[in-house]
C-alpha cells in the first residue's frame, strides 16, 4: 500500500504542490471550461513529474515480494483511495482511476496516472460540491494481486435495497468477467435479492433456509478480460453463457452471509447502522470468492434515527408515456431535453435541463448535479448513472433503449420515477403533487390497518407506511406481469402445436429449458416472497389466484385452455377451479410456490386464503388439495382463511369457520351478489353500494360470528377508504383489520382518528 505520505512526497519532490496552488487560484467552479482547463493543467504537472528514487525502489521491492508469493510476472490491480473517500455523506466512488492487470514494467507509470486522477474534472467538481479542500485532499494507492475474475464473474453487492433503503435484504449484481463492465452500464447484470432475517435460520426439518427471494437474469453480451500485454480488453460472451446466471445459488448465499458480517462489523465499529456498498470477485482458476472492497452506503444511512418522512408523488395525467425504462429513486422531474452524445460536449449543458444520453461514466459527474432529470439508453440499477443520481436525489431512468432517438432536443418532458421500478417519460410539463408525512406523528388505531398489494416491486417502499401487515397479497399481478404465461401452457408445453406460442414461451422462460413448470413455481414463489419479506415478521395473507376465464385467456396460451363464458364474473373461478381435474395440476404449482416461500426461504409469516368458495364442501376439497401438494393447515403455524364474498359464506358462516381459520370480507363481490348485479355491467354499477342495509347486515353477522369463535376477521375492499361512515361502522363492530391500498392508508388513518 502507498499511503498519502507517498502522494505528498511525490508532489513536494517535483514542486507540484506550489504549482497547484497557482493553478487553483484561477479556478471558477461555476464555469465548465475553467473546470476542464484546471483539471488538464493539474494532471499535466503530475504526469510530467518523476517518481523519487527511494520511493520507486521501495515500490519495486514490494512487488518482488508479491512475485515470491505468487510467481513471476504476477499481475496486479492498482486501486486508489482518498483520505476523504467514503465519508458518511460522500462516497467519491468512481472519482479516481484504478487499473487492472498491470505488469511490473508498467507499475510506476500507472501509479503516476492514479495520482493524476486526483485532479480529474469529475473529482474536482465532486470535491467542490462536497466542500472538500482541493489541495488538502490526499490519495493513497493499494496494489493488490489480481483475482482472475476475467475467467469467472464479479460484481457489486449492497447490504440493503438501494432504491428504498429497506434494510432486510442483500442486493447482489453479477456479470461475467471483470467488474468494470457494470459501471460502464453497457450490460444489465444478473440481480439477486437475499432475505437477511432467515439467512442463517433452519426449518423444522433441520435444513438451513436458502432465502434467495429474487433471481433475475441480466443481459450479459460482453465482458472485460485480460489483454495480453497488460490492461483489459472487451470480449463477447458466448450465447450459452448469456442465458446462464453468473453465480450459483451457493455462491449467492455465501456472498450474502459475508455482506451481513461486514455490515455488522462496521455498524459495531461506528456505533450505528452502517450499511455497506461492496465489490466482489470470483477467481476462475481456484473457484474462490473474494470481497475486494467495502465502503459505507451513503444515500440511506442517514435515515436511521432521523424523523421518518414518507413522500408521496402523484402525477396527474391520463396520457400514455412516450418512453419507459428502469426508474432510479422515487421522484418526478421536468425540463427541456438536452441530448449529449459525447462527454466532450458536456460544457453545452445548462442547469435545469433533462440530460439524455446513451450512458454516463465518471467523466459526466460534473454536470449531473445540474440536471432536473436524467434518461439513458443503457444501464441497470447499479450503473454509474443510477449510482450518482441516487446519491444526488435526481430522478433518473436507465435502460430506456431508444431515449436518444425518441426524445428531441428542446422538447419539454416529465420524467416520473414514482411508480416503483417502472420509469416513465411523458411529453410536456405534467402537473404533479407531492405530499410529505411525518410517520412519527401518524396516530395508531385500535383496528389494525393492513395493506392490499399485488406488485412485488412496490413492497419494500410500501412497508415503510404505518401498517399491521398485508391483508391481501394478490397472486394475479405476479402471474400477469412476471410470469405472463397460462400455467397449463407451461405444464403441457410439449403438446402445444402453435409454433408462435411455443416460441414466445421459450423466450419468456429462457432460464428453464427442461422444466417449464418450474418457471411458474419459482417466479410466483419469488414474487410472493418479496412481499412477505418486506413486511416480515408481520402476517402476509396471500390469496390464491382468482382470475376469471376472460382474464386467464389474456395470458399467453390461455385461449388453448379457457372456455368462453357469457358471465365470467359468476363462472369458473376461485375454489371451483382448484379441484377441477382440468385445472388441479395448475393449482398444485401455486401451492408448491407457497411451500418454497415458507419452507425454503423461511417466510413463516405467510398465510393463505381461498377466494370465491361457494360451498363448505368446496372448502374441504381445497384444504385437502393444499395438504396433498405439501402444505398442512396449522403445521408450522400455517393458517388457511377464506374470502367472505358470497351470501352462502354468510348464511353458513359457522360451518365455514369450522374448517377455515378466519374470514376476509370481500365487500365488492359480496355487494354485487347480495344485490343481484354484475359489477362489470356499467349500466347498473351505480346500484352497487357497500353501505346498503342488506350488505351491512351480512357484514355485521360475519364480524360477530368470527369474534364469537375467536377467529380472524378483516376486510380487504375499498369501502373503508371511500366511505368513512362505513369504516366507522365496522370499527364499532370490532373488526380485527382493514386492508387498504397503499395510497389511501395515511388519509384513512387520519380521518378515522378524527371520527373516533
Positions marked catalytic: 384, 716
DSSP string, 647-672: HHHHHTHHHHHHHSSEEEE-HHHHHH
Residue 436 pairs in a beta bridge with 311
Closest CA to 510 of 276, 107, 216: 216
Distance of alpha carbon 56 from the chain centroid: 46
Report d(CA 508, CA 581) in Å as an integer: 27
Answer yes or no: are the C-beta atoms of 178 and 150 closer than 8 Å: yes
For residues 281 and 149, the answer to whether their CB atoms sit within 8 Å is: yes
Question: How many residues are recorded in the chain?
Answer: 756
Distance between CA atoms of 410 and 420, rounded to whole angstroms?
27
Indicate the angle between helix axes 693-708 and 667-675, nearest 10 degrees. Answer: 130
Q: How far apart are CA 512 and CA 589, in angstroms?
A: 15
CA angle 489, 491, 495 (to 5 degrees): 70
Cα distances from 468 to residues 161, 269, 723, 736, in angstroms, run 22, 33, 21, 11
Tell me the sheet residues that pair with 473.
Answer: 453, 542
Task: Please state, in angstroms and rounded to a whole number, the distance separating the CA atoms of residues 673 and 648.
Answer: 10
| Adjacent-strand bridge partners of 499 | none
CA pair distance 658, 652, nearest whole angstrom: 10
> Three-state SS across 624-641?
HHHHHCCCCCCHHHCCEE
Amino acid at each position: 500500500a502507498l499511503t498519502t505520505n507517498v502522494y505528498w512526497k511525490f508532489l513536494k519532490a517535483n514542486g507540484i504542490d506550489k504549482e497547484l496552488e497557482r493553478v487553483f487560484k484561477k479556478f471558477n467552479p461555476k464555469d465548465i471550461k475553467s473546470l476542464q482547463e484546471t483539471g488538464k493543467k493539474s494532471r499535466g504537472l503530475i504526469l510530467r513529474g518523476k517518481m523519487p528514487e527511494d520511493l520507486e525502489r521501495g515500490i519495486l521491492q514490494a512487488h518482488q515480494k508479491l512475485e515470491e508469493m505468487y510467481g513471476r510476472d504476477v499481475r496486479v490491480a492498482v486501486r486508489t483511495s482518498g483520505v476523504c473517500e467514503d465519508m458518511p455523506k460522500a462516497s467519491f466512488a468512481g472519482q479516481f482511476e484504478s487499473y487492472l492487470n498491470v505488469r511490473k514494467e508498467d507499475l510506476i507509470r500507472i501509479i503516476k496516472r492514479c495520482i493524476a486522477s486526483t485532479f480529474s474534472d469529475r473529482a474536482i467538481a465532486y470535491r467542490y460540491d462536497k466542500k472538500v479542500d482541493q489541495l488538502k485532499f490526499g490519495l493513497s494507492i493499494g496494489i493488490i494481486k489480481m483475482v482472475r475474475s476475467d475467467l469467472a464473474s464479479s460484481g457489486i453487492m449492497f447490504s440493503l435495497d438501494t432504491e428504498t433503503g429497506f434494510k432486510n435484504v442483500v442486493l447482489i449484481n453479477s456479470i461475467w468477467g471483470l467488474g468494470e463492465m457494470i459501471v460502464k452500464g453497457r450490460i444489465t447484470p444478473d440481480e439477486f435479492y437475499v432475505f437477511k432475517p432467515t439467512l442463517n435460520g433452519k426449518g423444522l426439518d433441520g435444513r438451513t433456509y436458502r432465502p434467495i427471494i429474487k433471481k433475475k437474469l441480466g443481459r450479459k453480451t460482453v465482458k472485460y478480460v485480460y489483454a495480453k500485454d497488460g490492461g483489459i480488453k472487451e470480449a463477447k460472451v458466448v450465447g450459452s453463457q448469456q442465458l446462464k446466471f453468473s453465480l450459483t445459488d451457493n455462491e449467492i448465499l455465501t456472498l450474502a452471509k459475508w455482506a451481513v458480517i461486514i455490515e455488522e462489523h462496521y455498524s459495531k465499529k461506528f456505533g450505528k447502522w452502517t450499511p455497506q456498498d461492496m465489490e466482489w470477485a470470483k477467481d476462475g482458476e481456484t473457484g474462490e470468492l473474494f470481497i475486494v472492497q467495502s465502503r459505507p452506503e451513503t444515500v440511506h444511512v442517514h435515515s436511521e434515527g432521523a424523523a421518518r418522512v414518507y413522500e408521496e408523488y402523484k402525477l396527474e395525467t391520463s396520457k400514455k408515456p412516450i418512453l419507459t425504462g428502469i426508474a432510479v429513486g422515487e421522484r418526478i422531474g421536468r425540463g427541456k431535453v438536452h441530448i449529449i452524445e459525447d462527454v466532450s460536449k458536456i460544457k453545452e449543458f445548462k442547469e435545469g435541463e433533462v440530460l439524455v444520453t446513451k450512458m454516463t461514466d465518471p467523466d459526466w459527474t460534473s454536470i449531473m448535479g445540474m440536471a432536473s432529470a436524467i434518461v439513458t439508453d443503457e444501464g441497470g440499477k447499479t450503473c454509474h448513472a443510477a449510482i450518482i443520481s441516487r446519491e444526488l436525489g435526481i430522478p433518473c431512468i436507465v435502460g430506456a433503449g431508444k431515449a436518444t432517438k425518441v426524445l428531441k432536443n428542446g422538447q419539454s418532458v416529465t420524467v416520473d420515477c414514482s411508480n416503483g421500478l417502472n420509469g416513465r417519460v411523458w411529453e410536456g410539463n405534467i402537473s404533479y403533487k407531492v405530499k410529505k408525512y411525518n410517520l412519527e406523528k401518524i396516530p395508531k388505531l385500535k383496528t389494525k390497518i393492513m395493506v392490499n398489494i399485488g406488485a412485488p416491486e412496490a413492497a419494500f417502499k410500501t412497508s415503510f407506511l404505518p401498517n399491521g401487515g398485508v391483508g391481501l397479497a394478490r397472486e394475479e399481478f405476479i402471474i400477469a406481469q412476471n410470469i405472463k404465461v397460462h400455467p397449463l401452457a407451461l405444464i403441457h408445453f410439449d403438446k402445444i402445436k402453435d409454433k408462435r406460442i411455443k416460441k414466445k414461451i421459450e423466450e419468456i422462460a429462457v432460464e428453464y429449458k427442461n422444466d417449464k413448470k418450474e418457471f411458474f413455481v419459482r417466479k410466483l414463489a419469488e414474487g410472493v416472497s418479496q412481499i412477505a419479506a418486506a413486511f416480515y415478521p408481520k402476517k402476509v395473507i396471500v390469496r390464491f389466484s382468482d382470475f376469471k376465464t376472460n382474464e386467464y385467456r389474456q395470458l399467453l396460451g390461455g385461449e388453448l385452455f379457457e372456455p368462453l363464458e357469457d358471465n365470467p364474473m359468476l363462472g369458473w373461478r376461485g375454489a371451483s377451479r382448484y379441484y377441477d381435474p382440468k385445472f388441479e395440476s395448475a393449482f398444485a404449482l401455486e401451492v408448491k410456490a407457497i411451500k418454497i416461500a415458507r419452507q425454503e426461504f423461511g417466510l413463516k409469516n405467510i398465510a393463505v386464503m381461498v377466494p370465491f368458495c361457494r360451498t363448505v364442501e368446496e372448502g374441504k376439497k381445497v384444504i385437502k388439495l393444499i395438504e396433498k401438494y405439501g402444505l398442512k393447515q396449522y403445521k408450522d403455524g400455517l393458517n388457511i382463511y377464506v374470502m367472505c364474498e358470497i351470501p352462502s359464506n354468510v348464511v353458513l358462516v359457522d360451518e365455514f369457520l369450522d374448517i377455515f381459520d378466519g374470514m376476509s370480507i370481500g365487500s365488492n363481490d359480496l355487494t354485487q351478489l347480495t344485490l343481484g348485479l354484475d359489477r362489470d355491467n356499467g349500466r347498473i354499477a351505480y346500484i352497487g353500494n357497500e353501505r346498503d342495509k342488506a350488505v351491512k347486515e351480512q357484514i355485521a353477522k360475519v364480524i360477530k360470528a368470527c369474534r364469537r369463535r375467536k377467529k380472524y376477521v378483516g376486510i380487504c375492499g375499498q369501502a373503508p377508504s371511500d366511505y368513512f361512515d362505513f369504516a366507522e361502522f365496522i370499527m364499532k363492530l370490532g373488526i380485527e383489520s382493514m386492508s387498504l391500498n397503499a395510497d389511501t392508508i395515511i388519509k384513512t388513518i387520519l380521518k378515522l382518528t378524527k371520527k373516533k
